[in-house]
Structure 1
């Protein structure tokens, strides 16, 4: 082998070793972040469960997450909810987001490792900013509905049936072209057939776009959390599994439809149970 060939082989080997080390470091950091957010979510949910729930007409109970306790202000309640929401979203979405972030790093091309890390952080910031805005809207709607239900017992009695309708609608959404389009956008590799520029603005924009498609794709599944229990760990685990599987399974659209069938069946069971309680 010529000297040039030997040098090229050594350089290729060095880059391969460096790439493997970078990949291990990247996914190691995200694993620690996931562990921390999952732990914080479990602790937060336990604290919320310790506060109990308020029994309501119609045989259901309202989560204290939507209510202002003695001595609290509404900005304080909102800040507490959004803090918990943000931690919960990191734990739920990071499993499906991590490979996408890695592909973004590959699409950016050659740049310094430190700069690449900050660009990746900006993608994550943009992504979770969209989910935070989703949480702001959800809290506002939840707080208003809770206040109205507290004042109107007749409305509170129909909440179980309305919740069943939300679950059925979420299941039906799994079969729509709208869902399929956003799922395709989420599954599409960033920078396919081209290299993304190593720009902070482009990184943030990429994260925002990804967050928008992901929040739309997961809208139905997320809505189920709110009607079943936004701090219910079992519901979180099931929704997280569904989000991740349909994102990475070879035939994501088929998996989404299978999930839709399961959701519709659950909605029908909730309707039957609600009718028996009534």
Structure 2
């Protein structure tokens, strides 16, 4: 992605402190909501499945609710979870956008940056809808076919291994190399359409860059809080820590090891 048309002007420390202070509050609120959501899902229990795993109640409507209700609930909480997971990774890019559109128009720049953030998380909302649809179908299939359910833990391990292998690929290196640049924001036009479009570009880039790690999280269990935290740290670290390519390879090696352990345990069960 290019950064044509981006003219970044340096601001005093006050706007930066306000921006990252507000981002920290949003992160803390979304992380707390995610923790409560996961705890409530854990309290509901799940359905024991062939192969020694438990299917979460997340993938089916609760008693008295429709599939539409379940999808809306999942998509809403999924996006809250995405804010907690992805805000540390995207905040520096949103700050650069604020700098680009700020200057004498700083009063409106905050609002436009918030709109860019809304566009970014809209991409993840769409992903959440797709994830729920696919997860619900797979859950129904697992219930109907116990022999297929028995293979699920091993398949999950294979997915994690593949996600780790992709960390070493040229595809991954290319997307990570783009993370240092901000997509063009059309010469910093201050209007809602331009801000949303910028946020959508950021979201699409993020999705392509970390799709393998998100797949690993889904395979490990979307309600697994330690896995969620580790993937969030990994996504932020490979983008913003110096020598990000080396960090990405280290993450890949760890994912491969975890995936192999998952497969071995599944086969031995």
What is the TM-score of this pair, normalised by structure 1? Answer: 0.89
Q: In the alignment, which residue of structure 1 is the partner of 2:4? A: none
Please list every run of 5 or more consecutive structure 1 residues that lacks an aligned counterpart in the other structure.
1-14
Equivalenced residues, count:
261
Deviation at 1:97, TM superposition (A): 1.2
Q: 1:225 aligns with which of 196, 217, 221?
A: 217
Q: CA deviation at 1:191?
A: 5.4
Q: What corresponds to 1:134 in structure 2? A: 127
Distance 2:56 2:147 in 1: 19
Name the structure 1 match of 2:30. Answer: 37
Which residue of 2 is the match for residue 156 of structure 1?
149
Aligned partner of 2:42 in structure 1 is 49
2:216 corresponds to 1:234: no
Q: 1:200 to 1:111 in 2, by over 3 A?
A: farther
Alignment partner of 1:188 is 2:181: yes
Post-superposition shift, 1:78?
A: 0.5
Cα contact 2:58–2:74 (8 A) shared by 1: yes
In the alignment, the residues of structure 2 paired with residue 166 and residue 241 of structure 1 have an alpha-carbon distance, to the nearest angstrom, of 19
2:105 maps to 112
The structure that has the greater radius of gyration is 1
2:6 corresponding residue in structure 1: none
Give the match for residue 5 of structure 2: none
| TM-score normalised by length of structure 2 | 0.92
SS at match of 2:222: coil
Deviation at 1:50, TM superposition (A): 0.3
Partners of 2:49 and 2:85 lie apart in 1 by: 29
Q: Deviations over 1:240-277 (max 9, x none)?
A: 11011001011111211111111011111111111110
> Is 1:264 aligned to 2:245, yes or no?
no
RMSD: 1.9
Are the aligned partners of 2:183 and 2:202 in contact in 1 as well (CA < 8 Å)? no
Q: Shift of the alpha carbon at 1:190?
A: 5.1
- Extract unaligned runs of 5+ from structure 2: 1-8
